[in-house]
Structures are given as structure tokens and as C-alpha cells.
Structure 1
Amino acid sequence: MSLLCRALKVARSAYYVWLAARPAAEVRQAAEDELAGEIRQIHADSRGAYGAPRVTAKLRRGGRRINRKKVERIMRERDIRGITRRKRRSLTKADTKAAPSPDLVGRDFTAAEPGTKLV
């Protein structure tokens, strides 16, 4: 082991720390996979409409203590996206009967001195 650590220029103690942390990482990954299943279920129940904030709120109402950023990360890694079902509305309509404004400058924007042609 010491020969391998010397070849990779890694301290032996760092290798053993990494080796001891592997089971914790596997447990964390299993917990995230379980959480991803819950997120997929909530997302499917909303017919794909819920994004990370709503999914987080639903998980919290269910008694799970979770951060929105973690939900965002899990959804991003597993390509789960919310959709917007609303159509864009234009609230202002142009008056088609109104006469256009007159062109007082005549499309000539050159001025002999500053402040004479203000648009």
C-alpha cells in the first residue's frame, strides 16, 4: 500500500481516511436515491408541474426536514423539471384607429448646437 501511495503522491493517512469514508458516502447515496423516488412521485402527482420550491414545500408538509437547494440539486441531477402551464398575456393593446405621431424632425437628427433637437 505504501508503494502505491508513494507512486500517486498521496499520504497513507489520506488513503485510510478516504477508505473509511466510503461506507458513509454509499449510505448518503442510498438516502438520496430514496429521496429522488419521493421527488419523482410528487412530480408525477402534479402532472409534471411542480418545480423545486413546491416539491420542497410538499416534502416539508410530509414531515421531512429538507433544504430547497438539495431538492434542486437532486432534481437537476436526475433531469426532473417543472413546467409552466400559463399562457403569456399581453395586457396592453395598441389602438389601431389612432393616428401615428407626426415626424417633426423629418428623420434628420443632426443639430447645429447641442440641445436644439430633443427627441
Structure 2
Amino acid sequence: MTVLCRVMQVSTSAYYAWCNSPPDSDKKYQDQQLAENVLQIFNDNKQSFGSRRLADRLQKQGFAVGRFKTRRIMRDLKLKVRYPKRFKVTTDSNHSEAISPNRLDRQFKVAQPNQVWTTDIT
């Protein structure tokens, strides 16, 4: 084994460390598992999680990952955060303008056509 390590220019300790490492310690396999989890968490949360919240969620699941690695994975997967639209108030009921009287008072049945006119402002 020593001759083979010398030919391949690898130290014997590195070879034995590689032999004793678990099979799932492969970096590509771990990145693939991580990418799948990032995609699932991202979609489960309506595509609103950025790298910080994704990294926190992954750490709670037991992955050793930081914010910048999560950001790199998001970039590789082409994930863009969608921020929810803020609620915009469109009704101003506190005004001093004249309010039209309610002449119909929800009585929608009329005797003849063209006596009551309504509209929808939505």
C-alpha cells in the first residue's frame, strides 16, 4: 500500500482517512441533499425565505451550513425571493366631506323599472 501511495503522491494517512470515511461524506452528495432541502423549504414558505432564514431552518434540521453557503446554493438553483405585497389602505372614512344618504336602504325590489339605479365601485 505504501508503494501505491508513493506512486499516486498521496500520504498513507490521507488514504486511510479516505478508506474509513463514511460513504455519504462525499461533498457532491451532501450538496445535492442540501439543495433538495433548500428547494423544499423555499417552496413550502411561499418563496419568501432568504439565505438567513433558510440557513436557520437547515441548521435546525441538523445540517452544518451557514448563510453564505445557503446563498451560493440559492444562486445555483436560481431561487429569487418574492416579497409579499404590503397592505395598502384605500378607504379613508375619517373625512369631513358630505356623505350621500342611503335612500335605498337595501330594498332592492321595486315596482317599475328605471326607478332605482345602482352601481358597483369595486
Which has a greater percent of helix?
1
TM-score by length of 2: 0.48
Structure number, greater radius of gyration: 2
TM-score by length of 1: 0.49
